[in-house]
Structure 1
């Protein structure tokens, strides 16, 4: 098991690191680090965990996370065997707050940047035209060397700081309470749930997996995930249903059962509670937005 708190990926003589990731799956280990991170998914799909949020991801997913905010991207291909698996691809950028410099960071000109960095402690999803612009800038950043790369990264941060096309992810006041032993245990829980969420998953089963009593596990999970285990399972199932609504020609009833819900009424209720829309409305809005993006 990898360490939860990872060693800095930035060599001491550099201000930042920008690189492409090309693997069958993204790193599925629940972890955190002291650097700020920009991450763009170029290829691949799965489930994204940032702080106490759970959301599906696909190509184009762009996020900005602050220091010590736990995260993982679990690929749909995780656990599958075979040599013909499609690769997951992405661009990741790591940097520290001192990229800007403490003196400049405290000046009036940097007020929007300070707000951006503060918001990143909850994790930020970047959407719309801003995401398209940042994608092009990240591709350019990979080709730049020396101080030109620093200037391009500052341009990216400036663009983000001025954008309203952002979604804050973790709950207000979310605090990372995890230690290394905790993340290993939570990784076990996440791995089991992602493999079995279509079945009936009980607290008793997870308690046995983590060597705890059911009561202790329930309390432990709520403390570290900032939600009940039943809410967590519902989010995983609804996230899977969202992907099926977008990618598959199945009716709502089929999608509900395929996502682990035992009744259509429960599926509709949980889906609307989490996404604030019905399954059919979700599908219609997605395809309407997708067509409008294609036309631009």
Structure 2
């Protein structure tokens, strides 16, 4: 069995200074992570923040600048970045087109909850 979850561009939600669609809740998905499709409009930047989770960003469309702990780096479609817990980060779109990426984050609690759900579902 499989289920395709469609991106609903007409109903993206504003979070952290960008438009996004969260992966969860999705009842059929039992995963040790969370995620969101993110769209950063031209001239915008996401809200700088840090958190306890590990995170990766997968650049899907366009280009932007990634700022991590004050260090800037170009970030373009096809690139993947790994962010350590506690790193202060934001994405800046200085271009004329939308920049789109997928963010995935996880921590030990999410992993433990996943394992418990997995064990329960295999009984």
TMscore range, shorter length: 0.5 to 0.7
Aligned partners of 1:74, 1:66: CA distance in 2, in Å? 19
Give the corresponding residue for 2:11.
Answer: none
Q: Does 1:50 align with 2:68?
A: yes
Q: Does 1:29 align with 2:40?
A: no
Aligned partners of 1:10, 1:30: CA distance in 2, in Å? 21
Contact residue 69 and residue 89 of structure 2 kept, 8 A:
yes
Aligned partners of 1:23, 1:52: CA distance in 2, in Å? 19
Contact residue 41 and residue 60 of structure 1 kept, 8 A:
yes
Deviations 1:50-86 (A, max 9, x none): 1242211211121111211101111123xxxxxxx52
Among candidates 95, 110, 113, match of residue 106 of structure 2: 95
Give the corresponding residue for 2:94.
Answer: 76
Give the corresponding residue for 1:62.
Answer: 80
- The number of residue pairs the alignment matches comes to 89
- Divergent runs of 4+, >3 A: 98-101
Contact residue 32 and residue 111 of structure 2 kept, 8 A:
no
Aligned partners of 2:93, 2:23: CA distance in 1, in Å? 25
Q: Does 1:86 align with 2:103?
A: no
Higher relative contact order (CA 8 A, sep 6+): 2
> How far apart are residue 28 of structure 1 and its match?
2.6
Deviations 1:27-59 (A, max 9, x none): 432211121111011112122111242211211
User: Please, which runs of 5 or more residues in structure 1 have no aligned partner?
Assistant: 4-8, 78-84, 102-145, 148-296
Aligned partners of 1:47, 1:88: CA distance in 2, in Å? 10
RMSD of aligned residue pairs (Cα, Å): 3.3
> How far apart are residue 15 of structure 1 and its match?
3.8
Give the corresponding residue for 1:38.
Answer: 56
User: Please, which runs of 5 or more residues in structure 2 have no aligned partner?
Assistant: 1-14, 17-21, 25-30, 119-123
> How far apart are residue 93 of structure 1 and its match?
0.5
More strand by proportion, 1 or 2? 2
TM-score when scaled to structure 1?
0.26
